[in-house]
Chains A and B, each alone.
Chain A
Amino acid sequence: MFYREAGQFKTSYSADESVFPILQDRIGIAVILGLAFVVIPLTATSFTLSSVLIPVLIFSLAAIGLNLLTGYTGLLSLGTGGFMGVGAYACYKLTSLFPNANIIVLILASGFFSAGIGAVFGLPSLRIKGFYLAVATLASQFFLSWCFVRVPWLVNYNVSNAIEVPTRTMFDIPITGPNATPMTRYLVVLSIVVGMTWLASNLLRGRIGRTWMAVRDMDIAAELIGIRLYRTKLLAFAVSSFYCGVAGAMMVFLWLGAAEADSFNINQSFLILFMVIIGGLGSLIGSFFGAAFIWGLPIVLKMLPEFFGVKIHAATVEHLQFMTLGALIIFFLVVEPHGLARLWQIGKQKLRVWPFPY
């Protein structure tokens, strides 16, 4: 309805393999990026920036991380929260060890610590599968949570036992800490998320991503055609944890400003898993949809009664929120088990052929 792709012929292999083969898609993504980088920072209020857009972007990155593991490699993990925590604590240690280093470099570097820990906790995946593996990854979640509480070295022996984010600047503009404006933090988060999403999409289109998908579809068959399972699975764990670790570091340094061990508990892991499943397993854009849905839904539900002028007790609202969230999760799964990404695809396809049914 909006556009036709007729007449766009591909004349070379690289044109056929490009990320956005259709001209209109390239324009579309440019418009979206333009909106995100220029229009939103100019127009959005600081509330929207710091309690809607920044968390959605950060959770999208974490969801992409889990999607690489669960959606693309088929290894169900419930340890996301723990890996995010590793990133956050590693970043905190790094900032105190290297006070003069660039904070963005440190945030990205902390991902490597998370990747290392993730690869270690991925070791059981070589032997166990499916839900058994999911429960095994819970071990890492609980062990890491315990470490965050019990090892005071991780928080530099703070009395509060929490990460307190120091102020760090780049080009004399504060990026982290209490003085950083939501707009700067939003732009930093957006740049990192866009960069890493681009990286992920290329990773998935290449050899590595294809071996992951082969392992997901059937690991014995993948092994038979010469894919080394242990390397592939551990690499998936490492890369996924890298993404989660960076998301965790950003969550503390660019969004919350301070965090305790509780921020990385089992509920965080479940939340990310919801985002991945509701958004769509094995879909990058689904991770964004899922994060926006799961994060945005409670905010919308909180606003609805006020919007309609209905006075309900605050506790009742909270309970109703839980019920609606649960019911909506089931509803969406029943309507489209492949997540919002599939709905998006179906919608696009319908618009492409409109006004004809097919």
Chain B
Amino acid sequence: MDILYKIFIDPFVQMGGAPDLLVQTLWEGLVGGVLYALIALGFVLIFKASGVFNFAQGIMVVFAALTLVGLHEHGVPAYVALALTIAVMFGLAFTIERLVLRPLVNQPDIILFMATFGMTYFLIGLGELVFGGNPKIMIASELGLPRGAIEIKMLGGFVSLQKIDIAAAIIASIMVTVLAIFFQKTRIGRALRAVADSHKAALSVGISLEQIWVIVWFAAGIVALATGIMWGARSDVSFALEIIALKALPVLILGGFTSIPGAIVGGVIIGVGEKLGEFYWGPLLGSGIESWLAYVIALIFLLFRPQGLFGERIIERI
């Protein structure tokens, strides 16, 4: 009985007792969720257009952030460094398309998945070779990102919001909006959706798969850069960031591999669920449960919707 009380009643009593703390936890979960969602967004873009489960998205985030900081360290002004990093991400997308995707076209999914592992290793080695393995500090203020915190008085207490988190949320929503418009309204966006629907049909109406792949990987690279800046501003830029790719996977299966809104909603659900679980139920099981809690949340959703919340329905034929 005691354990049931601790699971089902005690946490809610705590939540009711200190609503400001609850709001604070929710906010932190929300911000964490937005960042997960950004990584998941990169995954979704690539999966939609090329059917590749891109494990390298996490290292692309690190690589983009490292390039930016590394260039700045060598005396390049912040905004020039940003532009150069975008150019580097384009080069990366182009190289990947040429050396990896094109020779492996029409191979089983698992082979392409494996190839992205190869990319991950290559980029880890390259990044460490060029920029060194030490953690670096993100050039947040040079890029004009705000610092400090706002304290809001509410519910009989204080809730403190980091300005950088607010900026992250705003940038994420702008990026999603831009991507949505890009997908819905532009010529290239239409081609992208066509490729996502069917490679063969897209080819037969004269859409160049190679071009689309470069564009999509480039878009994912830009998303990775934005994620890297945001995440790097919260902590350091280091290869430890790579593991956040693993954090984004439950977000993906929750939202569905092919849905951009799914990535956002999934990110928020996972982020908030993880923080609430860690804060209110964590002491019960010992700390560190956030390493697997997200997966369990995602699994529970999956048992009811095997294609994720917003994924396309899986129709199987013989």
Question: Which residues of A are in contact with B by a Cβ distance under 8 Å?
Answer: 70, 76, 124, 127-132, 135-136, 138-139, 142-143, 145-146, 149-150, 218, 220-221, 224, 266, 270, 273-274, 277-278, 281, 315-316, 318-330, 333-334, 337
Contacts and interface: CB of A to CB of B under 8 A. Distances in A.
Given A135-B249, A138-B295, A326 B100 contact: no
B75 interface: no
A328 B125 CA distance: 13
B303 A330 contact: no
Contact residue range for chain B?
Answer: 35 or more
Contacts of A323: 121-122, 125-126, 129
Please provide the 3 A-B residue pairs with the shortest distance between their CB atoms, ordered closest to farther: A322-B125, A326-B122, A326-B121
Question: Which of B108, B125, B314 is packed against the most chain A CB atoms within 10 Å?
Answer: B125
B299 A124 contact: yes
Question: Which of A76, A135, A218 is packed against the most chain B CB atoms within 10 Å?
Answer: A135
Contacts of A136: 253, 295, 298-299, 302
Interface stretch (B21-29, B80-88, B284-292): B284-292
Contact of B120 (A131, A326, A328, A334): A326
B318 to A, nearest CB: 5
Given A143-B295, A330-B100, A220 B114 contact: no
A69 to B, nearest CB: 12
Interface string B108-138: 1111011101111111111011000100000
B204 interface: no
B308 A132 contact: yes
B124 A322 contact: yes
B100 A266 contact: no
B295 A334 contact: no
Contact of B122 (A218, A224, A327): A327
Given A131-B53, A328-B118, A333-B104, 15 more contacts: A135-B249, A139-B299, A146-B289, A149-B288, A277-B110, A315-B133, A318-B128, A319-B125, A319-B126, A323-B126, A325-B121, A326-B121, A327-B122, A329-B114, A330-B99
B261 to A, nearest CB: 18
Contacts of A149: 288
A127 B128 CA distance: 41
